[in-house]
Amino acid sequence: MQPGVRVCVSSAAVLGSFCRGCLSRARSWPGRTFSSLPRQMSRWNSQDTCSPPPPQENVRVLITGDTNFHPSLVLNVIISLLMSRKQYGTDNVILSDIKKPPPHVYTSGPFVYADVLDYKHLRELIVNNRITWLVHYSALLSAVGEANVALARKINITGLHNVLDLALENCLRLFVPSTIGAFGPSSPRDPAPDLCVQRPRTIYGVSKVHGELMGEYLHHKYGLDFRCLRYPGVISVNTPPGGGTTDYAVQIFHDALSTGHHECYLRPDTRLPMMHISDCHRATIEFMQAPECQLSLRTYNIAAMSFTPEEVAQEIRKHLPHLKVTYNPDTVRQTIADSWPVRFDDTNARRDWGWAPAFGLEELVTDMLRSIRDKRTNEGLPVS
């Protein structure tokens, strides 16, 4: 056990690791469901109680993703899927998307077509596959969302309402990731605590704050086991840039080993919190496994490191002295970055469920360069 982690008292037997009786505190909810769709079986306005799954029932996970709208995060989901299958069993973790996945996903375990905007089909998947955990990753990233606000609103908010309704209806443990983008220019920046003024100025951030608050509301009113982590910038060798403000921190490694030159769209002194993908995956799984009685919050910051473009470039030059970086700040992305925290305060995550990162900047750079070099070599590509 990590130092300082709280130990569950006898209420753990009542709360358990499953739903606490989602609707035992339900009150009449007038009219239609929150998402205002014509559904015949919403539990929002029901007096029924939610029966917890029997303790011996296996965890069965459905992960939502959408490569049309969020390619980089869906690749992270695929990686997470493959890792979690080792732990929960091949057939118990189901990846979904609206596009054909890479071949290794098909051979690794179940994959199904699912559109987060198709409520009826999502319900069928959950019921037919006896899902107990729903992990909802579908979203439009910050810069892409600003270029198409209507689409971002549709995917990030309407899709969220669908999974909230279904999680409540079926007493699921629901994980919805949040982001550094959930903070705004009036938020404390160094560090940003779990609870503070947020008020983001991007549709991506607004939709994430909406998700945090709706999940917390449904937890307190109906007992929904909602869980949310605010991810910093996530860095992965398998994740190509997908429209995020922190994507330079991935591209710079590829450029260093291909051309030896990187043009950065942020100022050299722009400090942002970052995290290696392995730490991100581990934090998510540990958080989902944590007994509910250990959680004092429904949304937590998680942190690992914080650096600027110039700092990561200097660390890369310890391995590749020839790397050249030029700076050409993009107005949209720089404005977004300037409104975000420079560091996360993750004291509560460390105290409540023992979060601790394994990668610092030095370890991240070493691992990324080694992994990309191996990947390029295996693909027959030149290495600078």
d(Cα 222, Cα 228) in Å, to the nearest integer? Answer: 17
96, two tokens: 């979904």
State the burial class of residue 195 (Cβ atoms within 10 Å of its Cβ: 0-12, 13-18, 19+).
exposed
CB count, 10 Å around CB of 262? Answer: 22
**Letter for the amino acid at 222?**
Y
User: Of the candidates 244, 250, 242, 227, which has an alpha carbon nearest to the alpha carbon of residue 177?
Assistant: 227
User: Of the candidates 38, 36, 32, which has an alpha carbon nearest to the alpha carbon of residue 120?
Assistant: 38
DSSP 199: -
Is there a catalytic annotation at residue 204?
yes
Contacts of residue 325, defined as CB under 8 A and 6 or more positions apart, other chains included, come to 252, 261, 262, 263, 264, 268, 309, 310, 313
In the chain, which ranges are continuous DSSP H helix?
A: 11-15, 71-88, 103-108, 119-128, 142-147, 149-153, 159-170, 203-222, 248-258, 277-289, 309-317, 331-338, 347-353, 361-378
Looking at 88, 106, 119, 204, which residue is catalytic? 204
Placement of tokens 């699921």 in the chain: 172
d(Cα 384, Cα 381) in Å, to the nearest integer? Answer: 10
Q: Are 100 and 112 in contact (CB under 8 A)?
A: no
Q: Are 153 and 207 in contact (CB under 8 A)?
A: yes
Catalytic site positions: 204
